[in-house]
Amino acid sequence: MSIPQILDCLFRTMAWISAILPNVMWYGFGSFFLGTKHFGDVDLLIVCSDQKEAALTHDSCYELWSEWPVHLMVLTEREEFST
C-alpha cells in the first residue's frame, strides 16, 4: 500500500465528483491525515446536499473503498445536522 497511490486515487475521485457535484464537502480524519507512518485505514466523511447526491457520491467512490482501506461515511446535510 503506497501513500502516493492512495492520495492519487483520492484526489482523482474528489476532482471528478466535485466537477459534477460542487457542493459536496470532504472531511478527512484519523491517523492517515495526521501523517503517521502506520495507519489502518483512511477515514473520510463526505457530506452531500441530499440522498440522490449521497448515492451518486458513494457509487463514484467505488475505486477508493474497493481497492484501498478506506472507511467511507456519506451523509446528507440533514443527517449531518442531526448528529
Cβ neighbours for 14, distance < 8 A, ≥ 6 positions apart: 26
- For 45-57, the pLDDT digits (tens) are 999 999 999 999 9
Its CATH architecture, for the domain 3-82, is 2-Layer Sandwich (3.30)
Q: What is the mean pLDDT of the chain?
A: 92
Interval 13-30 mean pLDDT: 94
Exposure pattern of 40-78 as b/e (b: 16+ CB <10 Å)? Answer: eebbbebbbeeeebbebbeebbeebbeeeebebebbbee
The stretches of 1-83 forming alpha helices (DSSP H) are: 3-20, 51-60, 62-67, 77-82
pLDDT at 1 over 90: no
Q: Predicted confidence band at 58 (pLDDT cuts at 50, 70, 90)?
A: very high
More confident residue, 8 or 38: 8
Say which residue the cell 447526491 belongs to: 53
